[in-house]
């Protein structure tokens, strides 16, 4: 069994990353050393819309952002085989007045605002999430990106209207790439802050996503060096499956794989590297929201 060969426990927490342009969904598993290790990459059969976040109900966009999945978002009785709700709109989305609901990762390989897998692959993904919940873990995170946020890809998309938003998303991508740990995500001033915390004695739950931010400090990011003692654990495993969206078609803005229905609700009613370079804490005050 792959989990055992990679030194992973079936009940260990999971972390999911989604990459639209590449049509890939990654699952990472937490090991005893407190770091996430790559378990498997799954092809996304199809997703709808173009690169960029979901803004309004009816835009047929699949969400981008930092999301948290709780047990009540899992749907074993979905009309689309199996599904979990991605959690859109989250606090950040709501602070910007964004609308929409029932945005899922599901099976059946068809999408109207969601990320659709084949039935066989969603069964495996769903089972990994279910076992983590059964072990008592309260949630797992999904980071949904427009593409793998390398410097080269960012340069390729520098003229996009979403570039400033993607710069913040890249901070989350870079932090995980450096540390193999998920960053703390704060929302205030209608803005994401990656690996940050209030400098004053304020709990993150007391922050108003739409209100001005208090002084924040960014925490140290410690680079992770894999032990290199388990070659299987470090092996990048990719599942087989179809991808109906290609990088070329996404770049051209064609082949949107989006039906004409108003939004995903018609089909699914059932259902920052901000601190890595210096590697030290710093204090800052947010002054104006940027997207």
- For 268, left (φ over 0), alpha (ψ -120 to 50), or beta? alpha
What is the sign, positive or negative, of the torsion defined by CA atoms of 139, 146, 57, 99? positive
Q: How far apart are CA 236 and CA 254, in angstroms?
A: 30
* Gap between the Cα atoms of 124 and 107, Å rounded: 11
Structure-token match 């018609």, residue found = 266
Which residues are marked as active site?
106, 114
Q: Percentage helix, strand, coil, to 5, in the chain?
A: 20, 20, 55
Total Cβ atoms within 10 A of residue 265: 17
Cα distance between residue 20 and residue 100, in whole Å: 19
The enclosing H or E element of 43 equals strand 36-43
């Amino acid at each position: 069994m792959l989990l055992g060969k990679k030194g992973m426990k079936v009940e260990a927490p999971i972390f999911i990353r989604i990459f639209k342009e590449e049509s890939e969904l990654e699952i990472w598993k937490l090991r005893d050393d407190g770091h996430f290790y790559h378990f498997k990459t799954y092809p996304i059969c199809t997703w709808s819309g173009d690169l960029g976040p979901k803004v309004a109900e009816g835009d047929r966009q699949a969400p981008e952002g930092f999301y948290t999945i709780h047990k009540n978002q899992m749907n074993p009785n979905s009309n689309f085989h199996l599904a979990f709700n991605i959690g859109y709109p989250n606090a950040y989305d709501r602070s910007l007045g964004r609308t929409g609901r029932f945005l899922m990762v599901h099976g059946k390989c068809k999408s109207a605002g969601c990320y659709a897998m084949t039935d066989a692959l969603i069964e495996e993904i769903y089972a990994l999430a279910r076992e983590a919940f059964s072990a008592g873990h309260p949630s797992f995170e999904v980071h949904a990106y427009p593409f793998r946020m390398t410097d080269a890809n960012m340069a390729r998309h520098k003229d996009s209207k979403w570039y400033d938003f993607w710069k913040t998303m890249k901070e989350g991508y870079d932090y995980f790439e450096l540390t193999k740990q998920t960053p703390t995500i704060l929302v205030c001033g209608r803005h994401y802050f990656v690996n940050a915390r209030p400098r004053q004695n304020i709990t993150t739950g007391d922050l108003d996503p739409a209100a001005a931010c208090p002084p924040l400090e960014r925490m140290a990011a410690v680079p992770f060096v894999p032990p290199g003692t388990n070659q299987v654990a470090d092996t990048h495993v990719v599942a087989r499956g179809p991808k109906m969206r290609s990088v070329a078609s996404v770049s051209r803005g064609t082949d949107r794989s989006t039906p004409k229905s108003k939004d995903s609700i018609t089909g699914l009613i059932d259902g920052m590297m901000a601190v890595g370079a210096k590697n030290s804490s710093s204090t800052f005050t947010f002054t104006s929201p940027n997207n």
